């Protein structure tokens, strides 16, 4: 089992939607993952693996016009799948991994935004063991 907590600074803002100089934004914040990784050795120092588990993210939305503002958030729950390869040395390792997370549909203030939230990631990791 593995658990991860990550943060995001992804934000999209648009202006002049309903009136001049109004502004709407949506941003991603924390991302939680709990899952497992299983693999098998290919040769003496290469491991191929797959992973899967539960993914949970928080999304925040804000709208402001000349007289008022509104903000709300939604917690999205879904799944993460991935696969990767790890090269192991005597005291070091290198890993490359692909991850796909599907968080489902985003709803803000009880309103279905029509946004299906997902994430594609490629992660390269290296380190030393001692």
Q: What is the pTM of this model?
A: 0.79
- CA 104/CA 17 separation, integer angstroms: 25
Kindly list the domain boundaries of the chain, sorted by start residue. Answer: 2-128
Q: Cα-flanking dihedrals φ and ψ of residue 121, to 5°? A: -135, 145
* Residues found in the chain: 130
- Look at domain 2-128 and name its CATH class: mainly beta
Q: Euclidean distance between the first and final Cα of the chain, in Å? A: 22
pLDDT tens digit sequence for 42-72 = 999 999 999 999 999 998 989 999 899 989 9
pLDDT tens digit sequence for 5-49 = 888 888 889 999 888 989 989 888 899 999 999 999 999 999 999
Contact 105, 116 (CB under 8 A): yes
pLDDT tens digit sequence for 72-110 = 988 999 999 999 999 999 899 999 999 999 999 888 878
* pLDDT, position 8: 85
């Amino acid at each position: 089992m593995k658990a991860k907590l990550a943060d995001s600074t992804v934000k999209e803002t648009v202006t002049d939607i309903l009136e001049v100089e109004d502004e709407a934004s949506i941003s991603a914040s924390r991302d939680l993952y709990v899952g497992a990784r299983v693999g098998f050795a290919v040769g003496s120092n290469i491991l191929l693996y797959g992973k899967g588990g539960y993914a949970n993210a928080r999304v925040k939305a804000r709208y402001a016009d000349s007289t008022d503002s509104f903000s709300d958030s939604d917690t999205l729950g879904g799944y993460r799948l991935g696969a990767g390869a790890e090269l192991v040395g005597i005291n070091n390792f290198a890993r490359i991994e692909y991850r796909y997370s599907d968080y489902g549909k985003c709803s803000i203030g009880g309103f279905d935004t029509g946004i299906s939230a997902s994430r594609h990631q490629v992660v390269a990791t290296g380190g030393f063991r001692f």
